[in-house]
Chain A
Amino acid sequence: MRMQRYKTLVQTMSLVLLHSSWGLEAKWLCVPVLSCHSCALSYFACPIGVFAHFAGHHVFPLLALGAVLLAGVLVGRLLCGWVCPFGFLQDLLYRLKTRKFTLPAWTSRTKYAVLVLTVFALPFVFGEETVFSFCRYCPAAAAQVSVPAVIGGAFSGEAAVSGWSLLKIGILAAVVAAVVFSRRAFCNVLCPIGALLAPLNFVSFWAVKPPTSRCISCKKCDRTCATAVEPSARIAAGASPSRAADCVVCHQCQVVCPVKDAPGEAAKS
């Protein structure tokens, strides 16, 4: 419970720190979290937007790819679990008391197709302004840009709502509805940043330590896992539970383990 509160605090601080620019900007730097750089308060660039535009320019995104790769090698998908504002929104919505369900495992492969097609291939073929670009449908952009623009327009009397804005807001509404029932559904199924960082979870320097060397297979960790990657199998094998593509490194499996090793115990055994 303490860890959960700590995570919520870090996510809240990240949300504020990533979106509090009143003048200073570092939009040459891509931070691998789903946060639209078109938001007036954003400090950093979204790697997905930059990749899609560079694909349209037919220019290899050295700086953006280097930044994302470096973050991924250092911390894997830790940023998804602890920093991403859209992940935070999903965590909050999942707290609503409703019936919950887990998506079939195959759906998690969809995000790789989304990444390859809508971020690289289609913008490369049809140009950066193509209607097939992920940015055209991005629910984070809808939450940060389209919704405030529509609300602002309503207050100022300028009814300038485009069809694209409405479509984006509709997709945002569908995503919001889905994540209420299925934990981190967007991260698991559609997030192209998650797809970029997923393979790096297997080699990243940051990894969740197996909480116990004497697993009793109670499966508490499986039930609490945000992305249903069944960490119990890896914990029982003495491997890091975060060495899975879909793990968002939330550390909950470590926290809920009822037979946690004392500090240094695992090393001795």
Chain B
Amino acid sequence: MKARRVRLVIAVGLGAAALACVAAGAARTHRVLYEQAAESKAPAIIAPGGLQLPGMRKLPPKIVTQTISEAQLVIDATFTGVLRKGDRLFTQYDRSKPGGRRACPT
């Protein structure tokens, strides 16, 4: 009887911890970075077809900070949608575009 009560207390405690994890996870957000390809400022006539002439340099990508929910991070994790570089998370998806079914990258 005592063992049963101990088991019940542990189960209720773990259940409460699980619910707390779900609630905290649902409320948590993550900061991810997105590398947006920079638009070339060079006139098209100088560089037809993307031809790079001496002296021209490619602009570095613009890094945009985005805040996503943990649920979104879980979804992205299913398709290697977020990668860690150094101590920062980089998203691989352009979230300004409409979502939809994503293809597995592997």
**Residues of A at under 8 Å CB distance from B?**
23, 25, 27-30, 37-38, 40, 45-46, 49-50, 53-54, 56-59, 61-67, 69-70, 72-74, 127-129, 145, 164, 200, 202-205
Contact = CB atoms under 8 A, between A and B. Distances in A.
A62 B79 contact: no
Interface in B84-106: 84, 87, 89, 101, 104, 106
A127 to B, nearest CB: 6
Contacts of B84: 56-58, 127-128
A73 B15 contact: yes
A61 B30 CA distance: 12
Given A49-B78, A62-B70, A127-B84, A69 B24 contact: no
A209 B22 CA distance: 30
Nearest to A129: B80
Contacts of A74: 15
Interface stretch (B6-14, B45-53, B58-66): B6-14
Given A57-B77, A70-B22, 4 more contacts: A38-B106, A45-B74, A45-B78, A58-B87
- Interface centre among A38, A54, A56, A205, by most B CB within 10 Å? A38
B101 A67 contact: no
A215 B89 CA distance: 58
B80 A128 contact: yes
B17 to A, nearest CB: 7
B11 A38 contact: no
A203 B89 contact: no
A129 B74 contact: no
B18 A66 contact: yes
Contacts of A66: 18-25
Nearest to A127: B84
Interface range for B: 35 or more
Given A56-B84, A62-B24, A62-B70, A73 B78 contact: no
Nearest to A71: B18
Interface of B: 7, 10-11, 14-15, 17-26, 28, 30, 70-75, 77-80, 82-84, 87, 89, 101, 104, 106
Closest 7 CB pairs of A and B: A63-B25, A66-B21, A62-B25, A28-B71, A66-B22, A53-B77, A69-B18
B14 A129 contact: no
Contacts of B20: 66
A1 B83 CA distance: 50
14 contacts: A23-B101, A28-B71, A58-B84, A62-B24, A63-B21, A63-B22, A63-B25, A63-B28, A63-B70, A64-B25, A66-B23, A69-B17, A74-B15, A203-B10
B83 A129 contact: yes
Nearest to B75: A27
Contacts of A127: 84
A59 B74 CA distance: 11
A70 B18 contact: yes
B74 A27 contact: yes
B80 to A, nearest CB: 7
Contact of A38 (B7, B83, B104): B104
A93 to B, nearest CB: 26
A61 B99 CA distance: 23
Nearest to B84: A57
B15 to A, nearest CB: 5
